[in-house]
Structure 1
Amino acid sequence: MPTVRLEGSLLTDWDAFHTESQKVFGFPDFYGRNMSAWIDCLSYLRDEDGMSKFRLKPNETLIIELHDTELLQKKAPEILEELRFCVSAINERYDDYGEKLALILRLC
Structure 2
Amino acid sequence: MATARLNGELITDWDSFHSQCASVFGFPEFYGNNMNAWVDCLSYLRDDDGMSKFVLKDNEVLTIEVQHSDKLRAAAPDIVEELQFCVAMINERCEDYEEPATLKLALL
Same-fold status (TM-score > 0.5): yes
1:51-83 deviations in whole A, cap 9, x for unaligned? 000000001000000011111111100000000
Structure 2 match to 1:75? 75
**Superposition TM-score, scaled by structure 1 size:** 0.98
Partner residue, 1:59: 59
Question: Superposition RMSD on alpha carbons, in Å?
Answer: 0.5
Matching residue's letter, 1:40: D
Q: What is the rounded CA distance, in whole Å, between the counterparts of 2:63 and 2:18 in structure 1? A: 18
* Runs of 5+ unmatched residues, structure 1: none
The percent of aligned pairs where both chains have the same amino acid is 60
TM-score under structure 2 length normalisation: 0.98
Name the counterpart of 1:13.
13
Check if 1:91 corresponds to 2:84. Answer: no
Q: Which amino acid aligns with 2:50?
A: G
> Equivalents in 2 of 1:31, 1:23: separation in Å?
11
SS state at 1:58 partner: coil
Aligned partner of 2:45 in structure 1 is 45
Per the TM alignment, residue 48 of structure 1 is displaced from its structure 2 partner at its CA by 1.9
Structure 2: gaps spanning 5 or more residues: none
4+ aligned runs moved over 2 Å, structure 1: none
Aligned-pair CA distance for 1:35: 0.1
Q: Which residue of 2 aligns with 1:103?
A: 103
The one-letter code of the counterpart of 2:24 is V
Q: Which whole-Å CA distance do the structure 2 matches of 1:6 and 1:95 have between them?
A: 26
CA distances 1:13-66 after superposition (whole Å, capped 9, x unpaired): 000000000000000000010000000000010002100000000010000000
Number of paired residues?
A: 108
In structure 1, C-alpha distance between the alignment counterparts of 2:3 and 2:25, rounded to whole Å: 10
CA distance in 1, matches of 2:55, 2:71: 30
